[in-house]
């Protein structure tokens, strides 16, 4: 086989997915990965946060954003789970006009607890950002208090000295915490509001939120909420639009890809020498197909932390193909030179 200076064309974003990505992201470089994509999205949601809501505005705003999709006269109550047990504390819904500070009413829950911010979030700026403020039963809100989020199962409640938001709400919580981290940086670190191991590429992010983001996909309620808040504040929560963005940034448990970012595409010119199957891989195997007329040198595989996993030399390709076996689940980058220019592609193993 001749010397090859091309790249194996694997998983890429931004070609097939353009029609599916909201126009809000038209000026965002979605081919970036890791901390570069985090910085790009952070700048986007900061720049487009053109309206700073007042804390008292939230009573009216939440009656729009938190409506129950099944009943527009009610709001959904975060952490709630049962409307039929004659216990108002565990209610999942409530009449939208029944708000205030009394038992049996709903109030404004700071999902990123105010006191866990560095400094305290207060009730302006991050403390009035409706992307993380939800309707909650007054007593349930008090039960959560400022407890950190921790792993659990079933309905919401205390886990030791911490708090589990409930199976229905854990994904919502994760995506809100990711938004707050990007929007307010060091003031709203995920590691300060949740309990779990840190991600190697970013010690401030914890694996717990990546896991919840993947396990509990976006609901119609979350999507409706995001749309309304773009009108109210100007910005969106990218992780509601596509939970898979968290995977592209931090790796970890692979989330659903709402934009089909893991699809292959028909490449042209010199890239047409290279294909891979399956995309994505579900068993850890990836077969790379290479036209034998291509000139080959090597291809390097990296994890999102920048650690080189392996190098494929030209002589490993037999009859124009080579199969990588038992690759651990995760998100990877393939790097090589194409016509003398460095090229990076994204690889995912589910």
Give the CATH number of the domain where residue 342 resides: 2.60.40.3080
Q: Is 42 contained in some domain?
A: yes
Residues 6 or more apart in contact with residue 236 via CB below 8 angstroms: 22, 24, 45, 48, 226, 229, 230
- Predicted pLDDT at 263: 52
Confidence (pLDDT) at 279: 59
Report how far apart, in Å, the C-alpha atoms of 342 and of each of 60, 145, 163, 338 are. Answer: 51, 50, 46, 6
What pLDDT does residue 6 have? 31
In the chain, the number of structural domains is: 2
Residue 226, helix vs strand vs coil: helix
Q: Which segments of 117-159 does DSSP mark as H helices, in order?
A: 138-144
User: Do 216 and 86 belong to one domain?
Assistant: yes
Is 248 within 8 Å of 213 (Cβ atoms)? no
Same domain, 273 and 207: no
pLDDT score of 11 more than 80: no
pLDDT of residue 330: 78
In-domain check, residue 23: no
Q: Residues 348, 306: contact at Cβ < 8 Å?
A: no
Domain span at residue 144 reads 34-250
Q: Which residues pair with 4 in a beta bridge?
A: 296
What's the rounded mean pLDDT across residues 230-236?
A: 98
- Which whole number is the average pLDDT over 159-179? 98
Whole-number pLDDT of residue 155: 98
Residue 284 token pair: 């850890």
pLDDT of residue 205: 98
**In a domain? residue 127:** yes
Could you give phi then psi for residue 75, rounded to 5 degrees? -110, 155
What is the SS3 assignment for 289?
A: strand
Q: Which residue has the higher pLDDT, 253 or 89?
A: 89
Are 66 and 155 part of one and the same domain? Answer: yes
> Closest Cα partner for 151 from 90, 207, 109, 219?
207
Would the pLDDT of 182 be above 90?
Answer: yes
Sign of the C-alpha dihedral computed for residues 91, 98, 179 and 334 taken in this order? positive
Identify any residues that bridge with 36 across adjacent strands, giving them in sequence order: none
163 and 82 in a common domain:
yes
**In the predicted model, is pLDDT for residue 7 greater than 60?**
no
Same domain, 81 and 218: yes
61 with 176, same domain? yes
Q: Pick the residue with more confidence: 173 or 299?
A: 173
Query: Are residue 177 and residue 276 in the same domain, yes or no?
Result: no
Contact (CB, 8 A) for 90 and 82: yes
Instruction: Measure the CA–CA gap between 185 and 38, rounded to whole angstroms.
Output: 11
Q: Is there a domain that residue 284 lies in?
A: yes
Say whether pLDDT at 16 is over 60: no
Residue 215 and residue 159 in one domain:
yes
pLDDT at 37 over 60: yes
- Same domain, residue pair 185 and 332: no
In a domain, 5, yes or no: no
The answer on pLDDT for 257 being more than 70 is yes
Residue 302 confidence (pLDDT) = 86
Quick check: is 129 in a domain? yes
More confident residue, 127 or 290: 127
Single out the residue in 216, 250, 284 at which a domain terminates: 250
**Is 87 within the bounds of a domain?**
yes
Domain end call among 201, 219, 250: 250
Say if CB 328 and CB 282 are below 8 A apart. no
Based on the fold, state whether residues 140 and 285 are members of the same structural domain.
no
Average pLDDT across the chain, whole number = 86
Q: What is the pTM of this model?
A: 0.79
Tokens of 256: 């659903």
pLDDT for position 137: 98
Last residue in a domain, options 200, 221, 250 = 250
pLDDT beyond 70 at 292: no
| Residues 323-334, mean pLDDT to the nearest whole number | 81
Average of pLDDT values for 214-243? 97
The confidence score (pLDDT) of residue 114 equals 98
Q: Is the pLDDT of residue 67 over 90?
A: yes
Residues 222 and 295 in one domain: no
Q: Is the pLDDT of residue 18 over 50?
A: no
Of the two residues 248 and 161, the one the predictor is more confident about is 161
Buried b (16+ CB within 10 A) or exposed e, 151-190: ebeebbbebeeebbbbbbbbbbbbbbbbbbbbbbeebbbb
Give the whole-angstrom CA distance, residue 146 versus residue 112: 8
pLDDT at 237: 98
In a domain, 257, yes or no: no
Could you count the other beta carbons within 10 Å of the beta carbon of residue 103?
11
CA 230 to chain CA centroid, Å, is 18
DSSP alpha helix (H) spans, the chain:
34-47, 58-65, 138-144, 170-184, 190-193, 207-215, 220-233, 238-241, 244-250
Higher pLDDT, 115 or 271: 115
Looking at the fold, whether 80 and 177 belong to one and the same domain comes out as yes
């Amino acid at each position: 086989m001749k010397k090859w200076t091309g790249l194996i064309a694997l998983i890429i974003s931004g070609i097939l997915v353009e029609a599916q990505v909201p126009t809000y992201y038209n000026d965002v470089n979605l081919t970036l990965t890791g901390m570069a994509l985090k910085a790009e999205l952070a700048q986007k949601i900061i720049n487009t946060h053109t309206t700073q809501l007042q804390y008292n505005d939230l009573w009216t705003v939440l009656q729009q954003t938190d409506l129950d999709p099944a009943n527009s006269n009610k709001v959904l109550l975060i952490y709630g789970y049962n409307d039929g047990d004659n216990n108002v504390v565990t209610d999942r819904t409530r009449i939208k006009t029944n708000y205030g500070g009394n038992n049996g009413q709903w109030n404004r829950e700071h999902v990123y607890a105010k006191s866990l911010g560095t400094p305290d979030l207060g009730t302006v700026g991050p403390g009035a950002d409706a992307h993380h403020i939800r309707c909650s039963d007054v007593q349930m809100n008090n039960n959560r208090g400022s407890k950190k989020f921790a792993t659990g199962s079933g309905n919401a409640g205390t886990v030791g000295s911490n708090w589990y938001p409930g199976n229905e709400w854990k994904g919502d919580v994760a995506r809100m915490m990711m938004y707050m981290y990007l929007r307010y940086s060091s003031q709203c670190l995920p590691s300060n509001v949740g309990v779990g191991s840190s991600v190697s590429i970013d010690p401030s992010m914890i694996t717990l939120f990546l896991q919840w983001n993947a396990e509990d996909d976006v609901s119609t309620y979350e999507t409706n909420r995001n749309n309304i808040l773009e009108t109210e504040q100007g910005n969106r929560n990218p992780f509601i639009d596509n939970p898979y963005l968290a995977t592209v940034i931090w790796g970890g448990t692979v989330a659903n890809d709402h934009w089909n970012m893991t699809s292959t595409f028909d490449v042209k010119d010199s890239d047409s020498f290279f294909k891979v199957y399956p995309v994505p891989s579900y068993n850890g195997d990836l077969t790379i197909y290479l036209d034998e007329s291509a000139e080959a040198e090597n291809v390097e595989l990296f994890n999102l932390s920048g650690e080189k996993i392996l190098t494929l030399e030209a002589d490993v390709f037999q009859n124009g193909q080579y199969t990588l076996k038992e690759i651990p689940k995760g998100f990877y980058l393939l790097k090589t030179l194409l016509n003398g220019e460095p090229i990076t592609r994204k690889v995912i193993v589910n």
